Amino acid sequence: MDLGLADRVYVLTGGTRGLGLATAQCLVADGARVVVCSRHPDHVDEAIAELGGPDRARGLVADLAHDDCPDRLVALAHDAFGRLDGALISVGGPPAGTALGASDDQWRDSFETVFLGAVRTARVIAAALGPGGAIALVLSSSARTPITNLGISNGFRPGLVGVAKDMADELGPRGVRVISLLPGRFLTDRTRANYGDPDDPTRAREGAGDDVPLRRIGDAAEFGRAAAFVLSPAASYVTGSSIAIDGGLIRAL
């Protein structure tokens, strides 16, 4: 199936590693061009090279907690490729710990990055999109089912699903779609300490996926393919939904 991605341009925050990079790879493989960002210059350089060089990908060293980051991403997309068709918005996870155990500073810092950073970026991207544009927020299974010892995530992720739904209602008449993606357990650089095999971190440790209905940890490429489809014109009637990509892990309806 042709996803209709040829020559379309997408911004991917957090797109230099893990699920963001996997999505960027799938978009580029189907003919799209991408702008990725990270706080780490070496990650940006490595991702651009892996994605095929400056003809297919550009990068920005930036932090979503900074007010000017979204505007810089939009400007780079237009300067480099002459258009913008959508975005995958992903932010780093908040610190571990219970809701009661988190300090005020941890809640404030996480609000600036996890919550407000995502909302601000979506708002700026939405203003730059025309009919057929799409925004996908990468959240977490904690949006539907609280995860033990991730109290701040349990607090903010459901709120972002509500924000995405509200944005979908407002942007729908313009032909712009907004979707929440809820990844379950995937083996990435960030999760190897939790799910990786101590003898070979590129593989999931035995038993890490025993409570997942598919009985395994996901591969980042599996998320990337689903996200690329959701962002593509092939999913043109999908909006306002929160879509689990989790091997069946979430038990809520």
- Per the domain annotation, does 253 fall within a domain? no
* Residue numbers of the domain that contains 85: 9-245
Q: Which of 13-17, 169-173, 239-243 has the lowest mean pLDDT?
A: 13-17
* Residues ≥6 apart with Cβ < 8 Å to 184: 141, 212, 218, 244, 245, 246, 247, 249, 250
Distance CA(103)–CA(113), nearest Å, equals: 16
Q: pLDDT grade, residue 191 (50/70/90)?
A: low
Q: Which residue has the higher pLDDT, 42 or 209?
A: 42
Q: pLDDT grade, residue 199 (50/70/90)?
A: low
Mean pLDDT of 36-40: 93
- Per the domain annotation, does 50 fall within a domain? yes
Mean pLDDT of 215-239: 97
Number of domains into which the chain is organized: 1
- Contact yes or no for 73/62 (Cβ under 8 A): yes
Mean pLDDT of 39-59: 96
Q: Which residue has the higher pLDDT, 113 or 231?
A: 231
**Percentage of the chain lying above the pLDDT 70 cut:** 96
Q: pLDDT grade, residue 1 (50/70/90)?
A: confident
- Contact yes or no for 181/139 (Cβ under 8 A): yes
SS3 of residue 170 by DSSP? helix
Question: In this predicted model, what pLDDT tens digit does every residue of 168-182 receive, in sequence order?
Answer: 999 999 999 999 999
pLDDT for residue 49: 97
208 pLDDT more than 80? no
- Per the domain annotation, does 166 fall within a domain? yes
> Which CATH number characterizes residue 91's domain?
3.40.50.720
Distance CA(154)–CA(95), nearest Å, equals: 11
In 91-239, beta strands by DSSP E: 134-138, 177-183, 186-187, 196-197, 200-204, 218-219
Mean pLDDT of 116-121: 95
- CA 182, distance to chain mean position in Å, is 9
Question: What's the Cα-to-Cα distance from 115 to each of 86, 166, 229, rounded to whole Å?
Answer: 19, 15, 25
Task: Say what the pTM is.
Answer: 0.95
- Per the domain annotation, does 203 fall within a domain? yes
Question: In this predicted model, what pLDDT tens digit does every residue of 73-116 receive, in sequence order?
Answer: 999 999 999 999 999 999 778 899 999 999 999 999 999 988 99
- Per the domain annotation, does 4 fall within a domain? no
- Per the domain annotation, does 252 fall within a domain? no
- Per the domain annotation, does 251 fall within a domain? no
* Residues ≥6 apart with Cβ < 8 Å to 109: none
- Per the domain annotation, does 250 fall within a domain? no
CB atoms within 10 A of CB 173: 8
